Amino acid sequence: MRPLTVIANWKMNGSLASNASWVKSVCRGMEQGMPAGRKYAVCVPSPYLAQCGQLIEDYSPAFLSLGAQDVSMYAAGAYTGEVAAAMLKELGCSFVIVGHSERRQYHRETDEHVAEKALQVLDNGMTPVICVGESADERNSGREVEVVRGQISKQVAVLQDRLADCLIAYEPIWAIGTGKVASADLAQDMHRAIRLQLAEFDEDVASHVGILYGGSVKPDNAVELFAMPDIDGGLIGGASLNPQDFLAICQA
């Protein structure tokens, strides 16, 4: 049985004051009672990891885990501006997003980079959240499955059965931050396709990997999405900035 996992991605948002109020609200809300057997995390900008880690520790370590939004593909050394996986681990991270479409688009990350980053995360005892997804043009030209299969096959080639310790986030680019959520059926079809592709490699890996959906998830569409058999939770961008909306999605 795969646990439902809901992960907030703040992207490049936050401040010392707003972070403190968000963590307090979410942890207090979670203490009122959450559905059993689920996992929750918040991926914050790197400069706020220490602050948010401490806040989570103070309020509610049992419910909420800390995560990062990116990591270096290198372990250490002369890589100015980069953050190593060991540093994220030291700051208390449990999850690290790798290959978000915004990093692929604005920082030219390739599937090979993403796989190397995932390896660093695994080697340091954390869970990579590997993002894949097609653009609007790719879907409109009927190539969405081919595109996502290509992204997944690079991860399979490098990570092999260590994929069982990863999460995959299917995030159609046309749905990210646009308000155009994928219908539950459309998302389920792609999640199923990903799971079947993983099963071609190893059935055990396929049955263990959590596949999250990301792209304009809101409190009012989360219930239907999370009810799908191959949707194992969500990666939540914009809606996660509001603690009450994030809590509502966590309870969906």
Positions in the binding site for ligand PEP (CB under 6 A): 9, 11, 171, 176-177, 214-217, 235-239
Closest C-alpha among 82, 139, 95, 147 to residue 121:
95
Closest C-alpha among 223, 224, 249, 220 to residue 235:
249
Residue 29 or 234: the one with the smaller Cβ distance to ligand PEP is 234
Residue 52 or 206: the one with the smaller Cβ distance to ligand PEP is 52
What minimum distance in Å lies between the beta carbon of 84 and ligand PEP? 23
Candidate list 57, 100, 134, 200, residue with the active-site label: 100
Residue nearest to ligand PEP (CB): 237
Candidate list 102, 109, 144, 171, residue with the active-site label: 171
Query: Can you tell me the distance from the alpha carbon of 216 to that of 238, in angstroms, rounded to the nearest whole number?
Result: 7
What minimum distance in Å lies between the beta carbon of 169 and ligand PEP? 7
What count of other Cβ atoms lies within 10 Å of the Cβ of residue 126? 23
Residue 182 or 205: the one with the smaller Cβ distance to ligand PEP is 182
Amino acid at position 46, single letter: S
Closest C-alpha among 122, 149, 155, 117 to residue 133:
149
Place of tokens 């800390």: 66
Say whether 100 is catalytic: yes
Written as six digits, the tokens of 49 are 């990891």
Query: Can you tell me the distance from the alpha carbon of 34 to that of 165, in angstroms, rounded to the nearest whole number?
Result: 24
Q: How far is CA 51 from CA 16, 64, 237, in A?
A: 8, 14, 20
What minimum distance in Å lies between the beta carbon of 192 and ligand PEP? 20
Query: How many Cα atoms within 13 Å fall on the side-chain side of residue 181?
Result: 22
Residue 68 or 236: the one with the smaller Cβ distance to ligand PEP is 236
Sign of CA dihedral 191, 134, 110, 90: negative
- Helix ranges, 175-240 (H): 184-201, 203-208, 219-226
What minimum distance in Å lies between the beta carbon of 200 and ligand PEP? 27
Residue 14 or 238: the one with the smaller Cβ distance to ligand PEP is 238
Say whether 113 is catalytic: no
What minimum distance in Å lies between the beta carbon of 83 and ligand PEP? 19
Active site residues: 100, 171
